[in-house]
Amino acid sequence: MFAADLYVNRLNLLPYFTPTELEMAGARDAADFVAKLKEGIISWSACQHLSPQKRYALSLALRAREIMPEVPALELPRPVAPDLFELNEPGPEDPVLVSGNSEFTLTVLTAVLATTISPFYLLLLDCRGDTVDMAMVYQSFTPQRLVRALLAHNLSERVSHRQLIISGWCAPIQEELAQASGWDVLVGPVCAAELPLFMRDHWQPPAGFWDQYPN
């Protein structure tokens, strides 16, 4: 089986740490910080100045290849039903993630979202079963399909905000999506394993996490 590229090499940790946080951990910059964490030069006990949520999200990013399941490279589209998933009983103020209806995309996103007890809406557009990167190539992730999905699931009545989070692959059509839908559209990361850092304090770890990963 040829494994799909889940773009772990596109993880970008730099935006999530301030110079002060890095200096307090004894690192020159974000790259130095990550390298020293991986090598054990910096321990988790040296990161107590980071919030528990940020430490947890960082631990997930460092274990990205363990968290995200290996899926085969896509030869033909593998669609699942375009649907709205309500994860951890979301309420009207909770975030809405938007992606495509590829079986493999759903498998990877589900694995990442399983690492939090925070509530989310996950809206899958009908992209013929293309993964999001391929949906941009084949132009199957479109403003029209976003509008259709928002209306089909009555999102404007379910949530009190008007904000959607899309994959980093969809950045080129961010403005088109926003104009067509009337919603604010935020561009998230390319790699799903970066989502916990991107969501900041909204990505709450399961109870007892630090008992499993002691300082």
- Span 137-162, pLDDT tens digits: 999 999 999 999 999 999 999 999 99
Residue 56 three-state SS: helix
Is the per-residue pLDDT at 64 higher than 50?
A: yes
Is the per-residue pLDDT at 210 higher than 70?
A: no
pLDDT band at 214 (very low <50, low <70, confident <90, very high): very low
pLDDT band at 1 (very low <50, low <70, confident <90, very high): low
Bridge partners of 120, per DSSP, are 87
pLDDT band at 53 (very low <50, low <70, confident <90, very high): confident
Candidates 3.40.50.11600, 3.30.1330.10, 3.40.50.300, 3.30.70.260; correct CATH number of 84-201? 3.40.50.11600
Taking the C-alpha atoms of residue 174 and residue 105, their distance in angstroms, rounded to an integer, is: 20
Taking the C-alpha atoms of residue 212 and residue 204, their distance in angstroms, rounded to an integer, is: 15
CA distances from 131 to 22, 89, 100, 107 (A): 35, 26, 6, 11
Domain boundaries defined on the chain: 8-69+207-212, 84-201
Query: For 78-94, what is the mean pLDDT?
Result: 96
Global pTM value: 0.92
pLDDT band at 129 (very low <50, low <70, confident <90, very high): very high
- Span 158-190, pLDDT tens digits: 999 999 999 999 999 999 999 999 999 999 999
